[in-house]
Structure 1
């Protein structure tokens, strides 16, 4: 019955489209048909308790998608589900959160490549079906505190803003981080990227033209490549990366300005502090950056911002770094002992910028600093500091 109603509904969609666009050909590909159906059925407003018309959606996929894209999407859905199944079966709030989050991601999928579009949609709806049909097996110990906890309701947020030329930041104590977990697969992409399943808060609605949409896709890929690098070099572990799930925000501006990064910290009422997230502000000023240039800029900015995280929450020996070029708040080094202009502003920026350049050297990229020769005493001491901090790289 659902299938017949859906087919009728889909037919009415196309009929309405035809009557209002008499001179336009009917859409006959998945890239145009699927969004039209999703909008007509108002899938974005489906609650967790109301099953989406999965069997009817399958008919659309079977008609417009290749067997290969469908099989790959289903296989990756199984992989993803295996990673969240235990939490879904015991935590109703997590189940609701996963459903809302992944439904939004699925409906927001934007790509001009039909095979990838099919694969992502099939994987997404298959995962939603599993989430909707998962039963709660243990209701005696469900955490009643919302996942978006109210503990931070009265907290204050500190921000560390940085571009290729400018940054400011506060200082925080460090805390322990748990061990790295095994590899898992990133949601909806089909590419194994490391021990996490990271999604972004991405303002895709600001991307209008095909070139801008492609820019957005390149940004996400560049971020994943940077995270892959940090994970492969064991500079961050999977659990640390997971802290930033949905906490890397990608925004756009029409102003012509450099790529900007903003690391945010939360000052909790109990005196503790925690990372709130990272914001990236990308200019849509024409001409848009080339892929390689964009990748290089994003790697530097994102690594810089994650360097702040390491400084505040992981590295317990930061005072040793601080004394390389500072005596309390006073700068004791020459200009050539810093990697960039704004790394001279304070010890936190010096640390983050030095970390970013050090990582770029590990990745065999040119990391020429703005000032000073490679044999600068201050630069050498900073490089040695990170070599010691991550001594496992030399083993």
Structure 2
């Protein structure tokens, strides 16, 4: 469910007409719904209310300060994967005790910053990283809380570029070596082992891979406890998918996911941490763009938009589908026709959809890409010297620009010219 609905023949975001925002902000732009963000966070929070837990929003999905503050105010923790995301979380007012630091390549500088911020825990991905955290924590005279990420070799049945739990993936420590690695951690100074971490991938549309992974985590918990380790937290990652095409069968609900967690690991008495990103932010955002031209090609028509692959790269990178709808609701009985929907960037890959059935559209018409709130703005770039597009947040009948569009001068003036030029 989201809060982008047709009303009075036009698309609204909560209680604001999308066309009104477009007139004031200009296109293209990202548009987020506060009501959808908070609703989706609480679905996860309530799904785990059978025991102690913390829902840490995976910031990599969408990391604007306004989004982070909105979720933090509802009680969310944050899952960060870089020093920059750590700085963003802290700037948004999230206390260190509600921040977990994931990622395979933490630098010394990032580890030092995280220890200074007294974060909740590091999700450790390798033995060299574990040694680095031990060294830096010892130098600082502090104790680092760690959970070790195990790779359970489970096929998440998702796109190859977002699968993270198979043996050939770069993430985590093979679960078969977990006992040895936990023994090493227990012997290192400056570390306190508090739990196990696992994350098998993103955009999962079935619960079976989660169940297989969590059963392995439950068995490992018992084994590690028998070895003398205190395992009090289980960080089970994120990855629950969203329906990008309205015609597709909906993925499992957070309530079903919460019941699965309770069934597989609830008996262990651990605090549960999960890190949803896509399901919190994905359907909470749309990308609004305008048709520049209708171009008649050889055997096909092209809708050329002012939005491009640098604004939304998911279709080019993942062959991802986004439903695209007109901002003005088509009249009943209007016959749809096929279009190739493309952007203006000088790349053949700048194609959002091929032969997509749409109502007749022409220059100046507005369209909205649904389910664009996750991995949209955060993955955008200034390729072709195209400015990063604005982000806008709606709250009831109010809206505000939460990231302005830079001017060409602002973009160019970031460059510096050497003295010899």
> Taking structure 1 as the reference length, what is the TM-score of the superposition?
0.21
Higher strand fraction (1 or 2): 2
Greater relative contact order, per chain length (Cα 8 Å cut-off, separation 6+): 2
Higher helix fraction (1 or 2): 1
Structure number with bigger Rg: 1
